[in-house]
Amino acid sequence: MDQAEDDYKTAKAMFRTHRWGYTCFCSQQALEKIFKGAIIELVNKRPPRSHDLVKLAKESSLELLKSDFEILDEITQHYFRVRYPDVYKKIYSNEKVAKTTFEQTEK
């Protein structure tokens, strides 16, 4: 949870400094670590080596709404998208995606 908190704080700092791609990436990482921590604590098993937030959320035994899974599926994509310069320029050129992602992560 400490690492998740660090990633959350980094996402927040990246948003304040207009680093939209990193805001999204760190938001994804914070959620990934929360779900993996829940798998360890609540399910008492080793989490899978995956960055798929939907898969991790399902394994975590946390109760989520169907709409939450749709949001998690979208946030998962940021793990990969930030690595490709052409995609990065297209998606992370303004604050819209970062703001939505960060707000959804906070919820």
* CATH 3.40.50.1360, domain 2-106, yes or no: no
Which DSSP category does 82 fall into? T
pLDDT digits (tens, 9 = 90+) for 32-89: 999 999 999 999 999 999 999 999 999 999 999 999 999 999 999 999 999 999 999 9
CA angle 46, 22, 1 (to 5 degrees): 35
Where does the chain show beta strands of DSSP type E? none
| Domain residue extents for the chain | 2-106
Which DSSP category does 39 fall into? I
Contacts of 77 (CB under 8 A, 6+ apart): none
Quick one: pLDDT at residue 74?
A: 97
Quick one: pLDDT at residue 45?
A: 97
91 with 1: CB under 8 angstroms? no
Is this model's pTM higher than 0.85 or not? yes
